[in-house]
Every structure is written in structure tokens, then in C-alpha cells.
Amino acid sequence: MLFDTHAHLDDKRFDQDRDELIRGLPDRGVFRVICPGIDVESSQRCIELSEEYDIVYAGVGIHPHEASSAGEDYLESLRSMAAHKKVVAIGEIGLDYYYDFSPRDDQKRVFTEQIGLASEVGLPIIVHNRESHKDVLDILRSNKELLVGGVMHCYSGSWDMAKLFLDLGLYISLGGPVTFKNAKRPIEIAENIPLDRLLIETDSPYLTPVPHRGKRNDPGLVGLVAEKIAMIRGISVEEVRRVTSENAVSLFRAET
């Protein structure tokens, strides 16, 4: 069975068929999905989905895109939401210097504050990192003592850089890009990463794997990510499914 560690099930692109889609996931081999929040409202919607569906768990957090619009009391809101029994992570949080939708100082402040919150409530972090590897690494390193584990989600950096995140005790998650024809770095990660530090995800509704590119992504397609990783490593897809699910259950303690 498959564990999709990152799917934005609250996204409006699922409004038409969300209930049917989520109810159909076990038949497509998916037994757990984490819905990470991108702001306070989205985090609340993820919690509501986790209450409605056994297989859904929630992350609560402020995405770097939303860093400058997070209200002054956002930490208060996240803190009270984090006490919910189906909240298994603070995320998604991090830095995004590709889009730069929020000023970098705001991104860094909100990222750092949420690492502190994760430490306080004892939850792992889900880290978004785009074109910001150095600053993400610097911030994580200077807060190393605070980390309660975490994952570099949809990791897009080099293997050399990945080793530095592994040194911090973090997991690396691969998604649809490992199936893309022009994939280089994700393939390098899939080849080299110790299996006990690997997670898989879809980042639905984005980053749809081959051969469905151009269509909406959904957690039922996470098996294609597992298949591609199995092919790259020359191991069975059953092993990739089993190991990545065990890793995710252990990191997020999302067992029951």
C-alpha cells in the first residue's frame, strides 16, 4: 500500500469530485495521504478533511508564498490547530526564491518561527525549497537542535546538497518530476539515497507524473512515482511501496 506524503486535497481543483476521489483511493492502493496547509485557512480545511476521512492526515503551516500575508497572530492559530490529533506535521513551510511572491526577509522570518513552533509542539516539518537551497540549509543548520525530524518535499536539488539535508536527519521526498523525460537531479537522488530516508508524494494537483502530464494530479497516481524509482534502482516496486510507507508512518506517526 502507498503513502502519499504531500497532496493539496483542499485545493479548489478538487472541488468537483473530492469526496469520490478520496473514497476511491484505497482501491487504487493508497492507504494514507497528508494534506499540508499553505496558510491558516488552508490548514483548517486540511484538518476538516482529516476529520472526514480516515486515510487523510493534516499538516498546518504557512507556505513561503503566503509569508508576507500571514497575520500577526498566525503562530497562535497554528499552535492551537497543531494540537489536533490528526495533525502530524508543521508544513508546508520553507523558502521559494523562484517565484519570490513574498519578500525574502518575510519568508526567512516565517520559516524560522515555524521551525520553533514545530519544536515546541513536537512535530516534524515539511519543507518547501525552490532555488533557495543555501538559505534553507543555513536556517535548518542554525536550528538543528530544534528539529523533530522532517522532510525535504519534492526535492529538486543535487545529490551533493541532499547529503547535507540527510546529515540533519531529514528525509527526502520524490514526486512526479522523477518520471519526467528531462529529469536529471531527481534520478540522481533516486539512485543514491539510502532507502530508509526516502518518501514519495504527488504534490497534487501539481507535478503530474508521466504519462498523465497536462492533466490534474491526484494521490492515486503516486504509484507511478514508486514504479519509476523501482526501475531506477533495479528493485521491486513492492519494496519501494513498503519501505516508503514504513518511513512515512515512522516519521509522521500516522498509524491509526
Number of other CB atoms surrounding residue 256 within 10 Å: 5
| Count of residues near Ni ion by CB under 5 A | 1
Q: In whole angstroms, how close is the CB of 7 to Ni ion at the nearest point?
A: 8
Q: Which is nearer to Ni ion, 66 or 203 (CB)?
A: 203
Cα dihedral 218→221→222→224 (10° resolution): -150
Q: Which is nearer to Ni ion, 140 or 232 (CB)?
A: 140
CA distance 129 to 136: 7
Q: In whole angstroms, how close is the CB of 19 to Ni ion at the nearest point?
A: 22
Q: In whole angstroms, how close is the CB of 236 to Ni ion at the nearest point?
A: 29
**Nearest to 70, CA basis, from 100, 49, 41:** 41
CA distance 56 to 23: 10
Q: Which is nearer to Ni ion, 6 or 241 (CB)?
A: 6
What is the grid cell recorded at 179?
518520471
CA distance 229 to 231: 5
Q: In whole angstroms, how close is the CB of 193 to Ni ion at the nearest point?
A: 20
Q: Which residues neighbour 133 within 8 Å (Cβ) at sequence distance 6 or greater?
A: 157, 161
Q: In whole angstroms, how close is the CB of 63 to Ni ion at the nearest point?
A: 7
x/- track of binding to Ni ion for residues 189-228 (CB under 5 A): --------------x-------------------------
Q: Which is nearer to Ni ion, 204 or 232 (CB)?
A: 204
Q: Which is nearer to Ni ion, 96 or 203 (CB)?
A: 203
Residue ranges in contact with Ni ion by CB under 5 A? 203
